[in-house]
Amino acid sequence: MKIQVAPAAWGKVFAVPSSVVEEHLRFASGQQLKVLLYVLAQGGEALELRDIAEGLGMPESEVSDAMQYWVATGYLERDGAEAPTPAPKQTPVNRGGKTEPLLEVPDIVPTYETVAARLLEDPELKAMFQEVQALMGKTIGYDTQAKFIMMHDSYGLPPEVILTIVEYATRQGKGVGYICKVGKNWAEDGVSTLEDAMEKLEKLASTDKVWSEFRARFSSGEAPKATDQRKALLRKWRCTYGQSPELIYYAYETMVEAIDKVNFNYMDKILTRWNEEGLRTPQDVMQAGKTAAPAASGGGTKTGTSRTKPRGAVDHHKASYDSDAYREKAQGPIEYKRKTKGEG
């Protein structure tokens, strides 16, 4: 079935920037779109908040909150000033040697009034909060609710993707701050479906696995601290370059001997050069005369020595929220439940 505008509807029209549809339609909430359309329909006339509130039948607090999105993204200005040309919403990012656009999503935390209004108008959000509380094992107040609504309304993540992040984060022992960080990263990477989310989880599982493999080569307490940047570099060396754990550990020893400190960017230069020269093992490096074999550093095992099996990575089972189960929970009031002793 094809849909088109009825000819009679073209009697009176106003302009809407095409970038609103191309870049913001999937992120903006219904209230935010109402406010923008109302302002655009006035043909550039300076409006007071009360004018917009009366025209839309919304409280002024909700109008002000919804307007924050368009002010933050450069489409509207307060005090009746001319709206500037919106800044480009995509910046280039290099992934594995290939430049791709990276979408920037705004951080717009809703007010208490907006949180209450969104829960009343969208039963799906109410049901999502019940699932979040069940996964986190605790009640969530306004501050946390506001952040989850920001992930939904400003980041454009559907409930099933948010719940997937919450489940992963809680199994990792992470809190709301980490959940929001992952949510923003996923939104900027264009994650919009459960299938996209599962691909991300597979990548995270792979990253955790290669880090555990690397960490197992150190004595207890001597392994370098894990950070997102270090994990990303290690995954590049193992999964993109295809370099062996032995070669990576050899590069670590070479780095420590050369600069007497841990610097993964320095390691990256070493391993990138070896990758470009086709060197795949410590023996290849030594035979090519690129570096002398460094002495084994603090507690580490010499290259070539067999190792015990790395600690197993966390089980990242594929939980799916692509169902109507949590929507059914929206029929009644939010139920807060705490975990009983002994529950995971």
Between residues 109 and 294, the one the model is more confident about: 109
Please compute Rg for the chain using Cα positions. Answer: 26
Residues 83 and 118 in one domain: no
Whether residue 151 contacts residue 162, with contact meaning beta carbons closer than 8 Å, is answered with yes
pLDDT score at 77 = 80
Rounded Cα gap, residues 282 and 305, in angstroms: 12
* Confidence bin at 165 (pLDDT 50/70/90): very high
Taking only the tens place, the pLDDT of each residue in 279-303 is 888 998 888 875 544 443 443 433 3
Between residues 195 and 6, the one the model is more confident about: 195
Mean pLDDT lowest among 141-155, 160-174, 295-309: 295-309
Rounded Cα gap, residues 219 and 330, in angstroms: 51
pLDDT score at 208 = 85
Q: For residue 326, tell me if it sits in a domain.
A: no
Q: For residue 205, tell me if it sits in a domain.
A: no
pLDDT score at 83 = 40
Mean pLDDT lowest among 30-34, 92-96, 296-300, 308-312: 308-312
Residues 100 and 169 in one domain: yes
pLDDT score at 104 = 65
Average model confidence (pLDDT) across the chain: 77
pLDDT score at 164 = 94
Whether residue 294 contacts residue 249, with contact meaning beta carbons closer than 8 Å, is answered with no
**Residue 204, strand partner residues:** none
- Residue-range definition of the domain harbouring residue 257: 216-317
- CATH number, domain with residue 62: 1.10.10
Whether residue 200 contacts residue 208, with contact meaning beta carbons closer than 8 Å, is answered with no
Residues 148 and 173 in one domain: yes
Between residues 194 and 300, the one the model is more confident about: 194
Residues 96 and 82 in one domain: no
pLDDT score at 69 = 76
Q: For residue 327, tell me if it sits in a domain.
A: no
Residue 205 confidence (pLDDT) above 90? no
Rounded Cα gap, residues 36 and 25, in angstroms: 11
Unique residue bearing structure tokens 């501050």: 143
